[in-house]
Amino acid sequence: MSELTHLDAAGRARMVDVGDKPVSERRALARAVVRVSQETARAVERGDAPKGDVLGVARIAGIQAAKRTAELIPLCHPLPLSFIGVEGAVDADRGEIVLSAEARTTGQTGVEMEALTAAAVAALTVYDMIKGIERGAEIAEVVLLEKSGGRSGDWRRVK
């Protein structure tokens, strides 16, 4: 791919015109990992962190964020999401809180950014909810795990 699709003839950033692309079902799955102490992970797992239900609040924050992705990422297209789901899991022994986000739509462009935004904001929400008990929490990764649909077809992270 030699042509930069997000630049106009003068080299200025622009939103890509997807008007001629076929409509297809699209899906993306992303993950964020927050690393914490075992003690903090156990408090989140038990649901007794000082600010309350960390995973529940993070789930709702991620859903809200996915719906606002086009407002946050300048060149993203606003999409009618048919589904956005965010789930959280705690591995207390490893000191990890894993947030998974799935986004789906039927449209002319993909939902990778919506899934990534949901996972990232869910992780940021976890950080906010636990910072009173652990300032050293680390958002260790935010990655796309898989996507399907569209011209480029299916893709899955190998690892």
Residue 44 burial (CB count, 10 A) = 24
Report residue 134: phi and psi, to 5°: -155, 105
Instruction: Give the whole-angstrom CA distance, residue 155 versus residue 28.
Output: 9
Q: Which residues in the chain belong to E strands, given as ranges?
A: 24-35, 81-91, 96-107, 138-148, 155-156
Is 128 designated active site? yes
Among residues 8, 17, 128, 154, which one is catalytic? 128
Active-site positions read 128
